Amino acid sequence: DQQVKQNSPSLSVQEGRISILNCDYTNSMFDYFLWYKKYPAEGPTFLISISSIKDKNEDGRFTVFLNKSAKHLSLHIVPSQPGDSAVYFCAASDSGAGSYQLTFGKGTKLSVIP
Amino acid sequence: DTEVTQTPKHLVMGMTNKKSLKCEQHMGHRAMYWYKQKAKKPPELMFVYSYEKLSINESVPSRFSPECPNSSLLNLHLHALQPEDSALYLCASSQEAGRLIGRSEAFFGQGTRLTVV
């Protein structure tokens, strides 16, 4: 059973426009969410995170929105740049007792077209 | 220094070989991880070291043997692997350990691309 779902395996966006990557989760115990970006042949790179006590976190061109009632989060990239082309992984963690790991979604491949 | 360094970058080994993957970080992070990633799949957690002690083993076969010689180094010893073990092996570290381990972002190395023949 996949607890973190990224239902779009790929997304193409024109340079300068907004990219919206979506992520859904099923485990209501998740209370911290992270986005990672991965280029081919490299390890994932942390992008931005959000705690469940917030509904929005912004860092430059990247904004993450969290809707706890819908168990949904999204990453907005504005404006999109060709260098943003990569695979984006959503990850979640449960800081409750005994829980140590990040649960990753399957990733969404973003292609930004010049 | 915000890097996690993994060596080697590529490794081809036979099923009877013994080899080791190495990982190093100098950020003072208290938690270190091994992940395995197959093509078009998300990273899967294998082991977690918290304060140099093994705290999580995600039911990984004994042909994979982790070792944490000190707070900066993490090794993964490989012995009698199978072709299906071929994957990208990622090392990561994070500032927090213990119950706070999921609260801080993990820094990943570039990975070792392992091929078992």
CB of B106 within 8 Å of a chain A CB? The answer is: yes
Residues with Cβ within 8 Å of B61's Cβ and at least 6 positions away in sequence, in order, are none
Q: Which band of pLDDT confidence, cut at 50, 70 and 90, is reported for residue B100?
A: low
Chain A interface disruption, residue of B74, B93, B105, most A CBs within 10 A: B105
Backbone angles phi, psi at B56, to 5 degrees: -140, 130
Residues with Cβ within 8 Å of B92's Cβ and at least 6 positions away in sequence, in order, are A43, B4, B32, B33, B35, B106, B107, B108, B109
Q: Cβ atoms within 10 A of the Cβ of A83, count? A: 9
N- to C-terminal Cα distance for chain B? 36
Which amino acid is located at A81 in the chain?
A: Q
Q: Residues of A numbered 43-62 whose beta carbons fall under 8 angstroms of chain B's beta carbons: which are they?
A: 43-46, 49
The rounded mean pLDDT for chain A is 91
Q: Are B47 and B56 within 8 A, CB to CB?
A: yes
SS3 content of chain B, % helix, strand, coil (to 5): 10, 55, 35
Q: Do A93 and B48 touch (CB under 8 A)?
A: no
Q: Do B110 and A42 touch (CB under 8 A)?
A: yes
Quote the distance between the C-alpha of residue A83 and its chain's center.
Answer: 17
Backbone angles phi, psi at B77, to 5 degrees: -90, 135
In tens, the pLDDT along B54-98 reads 987 888 999 999 999 999 999 999 999 999 999 999 999 988 776
Q: Do B48 and A101 touch (CB under 8 A)?
A: yes
Least-confidence region, from A46-60, A76-90, A96-110, B82-96: A96-110
Mean pLDDT of A59-87: 97
pLDDT of residue B103: 67
Place of tokens 């010049």: A114
d(CA B15, CA B110): 24
d(CA A33, CA A4): 10
Nearest chain A residue to B31 by CA distance is A100
Q: Cβ atoms within 10 A of the Cβ of B55, count? A: 14
- In angstroms, the separation between the Cα of residue A16 and the nearest Cα of chain B is 27
Higher pLDDT, A79 or A2: A79
Nearest to A100 among B48, B90, B111 (CB): B48
CB of B48 within 8 Å of a chain A CB? The answer is: yes
Mean pLDDT of A54-58: 96
